Each structure stands twice: as structure tokens, then as C-alpha cells.
A = this chain, B = another copy of it.
Amino acid sequence: MEYSVHIRMNERLFLREPESSDLGRRIIRQGILLFNDVGFEEATFRKLAERINTKEASIYRYFENKHRLLVYLVAWYWQWVDFQLVFQTNNLTSPREKLEKLLRLLLLLDLDDSFSDDMDIRALHSTVIREASKVYLTHHVTEDNRQQLFKPYKDLCQRIADIILAYRPDYPYAHSKASSLIETSHYQSFFMQNLPSLTDFKQADSSEPEAMNKLLDFMRHLLFSSLDAV
């Protein structure tokens, strides 16, 4: 049995609903791959148009600009993570186990198939690691925030904070801890791959899993040492 869980997005993220047409879906799916291949700065709507055999102008009918497309993709990702978190922890009663699940989810371990709703989740995860902070590290962050563009990220943080508070009801930094957890998992992944001397997870050989498991250990240590502190 297969489920297709459609993620409903904030309407201010796009000009025309991309999931409503074939072209729109190609923009999203290939947009992920383009960002992955050339990076956000070097990506252009012209290149994306060539990739999907359409014209620049057609893409502009869906998204105001490249930045908005990135915001959309990142928002989609956070909603996906949020859904996965709810789904995977639904049967669990122990907050500690939920947090354990969360860590594996943030690092995208045990992902059964890397496509969901036809989206390349692994590629999206890589893109989010590299580019997500550019979504809010802008001069117009306040205006974007007013338009609720970051709501999926905030919702996820709130959900994590709730689990933290279920684990330790009097923990005073639940929200900061939640946002730190997300951010730390991302740039430690990035550093591990690109600037390994900023981490303690050197890959012995070219097979990743060993380093990835050490990163997971670190994240677990970070999380529980602070939550279990007096």
C-alpha cells in the first residue's frame, strides 16, 4: 500500500502553485538538482529553463525569483521533516526515544527510499545543508518573516521544543536548544564533508557511515548532556 502525502504550502511562497501542473513539478524537482549541481549563487532561471526544456519567462510565472524558489524548497523540506517526525514518533511514548528518532531524522539516516512524492530527498537534504541559512540571512528577513515564509521552520522548532519539554518539563532553553540542534546537525555535516579540521569526524576511508555515526554520537552527546544536566 502506498501513501502520497501532499504537503500544502503557504501561498505567499509562489505566484502559481507549482504542484498544480507538470511544468511546476519539473521546476521543483529539477530546481533541487540544479541547486545541488551548481550551488545557489551560480544557479539561474535560464539554466533551470534549459534543463527542463522551457523558457525563463515560464519559470517566472511560478516564482518571483530564485530566492523565493529556494525559500519554497527549504520550507517544503521542513514540512517534510515535521511530518516524518510526527509519523515516526507516533507510536512512541518515551520522549527520549522520540529525541533519538529526531537525531537520526535530521541526519537523514535510515531513509528507506530517497524519493518521496517524486522529490529527491537526499539531494534536497544536501541543498538544505548548504543553502538553507541563505533563506533567512538576508537584509529582508523581517519582511519575509512577516509573510510567514519561515513558519515551517518555526513549527518544527516548536514541535522539537515540545518533545524536549516532555522529556524535561523545566528545561529553560527548549526553543534555543531545538534551533541549535537543527543548525548544528547541518553545519557539522557540511564541515565534516568540506572542512573536516573543524570537526572530529575524519573519514578513515571513503565510506562515509563511520564518520556519520560519530557525528550522530556527537549530536546525542550534545543533546542529552544538556538536557540531563542538573
A156 vs B158: C-alpha distance when bound (angstroms): 33
Asked whether any CB of chain B lies closer than 8 Å to the CB of A136, the reply is yes
Asked whether any CB of chain B lies closer than 8 Å to the CB of A12, the reply is no
Q: Scan A130-155; emit 1 where CB is below 8 A from any B CB, else 0.
A: 11011011110110010000100110
State the copy count for this chain: 2
* Interface-side segment among A47-55, A88-96, A115-123, A184-192: A184-192
A173: chain B residues at CB < 8 Å are 200, 218, 221
A190: chain B residues at CB < 8 Å are 136-137
A187: chain B residues at CB < 8 Å are 133, 179, 183
A-B contact list, 15 entries, CB within 8 Å: A41-B139, A42-B139, A133-B187, A136-B194, A136-B195, A141-B195, A154-B195, A154-B198, A158-B197, A173-B200, A176-B201, A176-B218, A179-B187, A183-B187, A184-B184
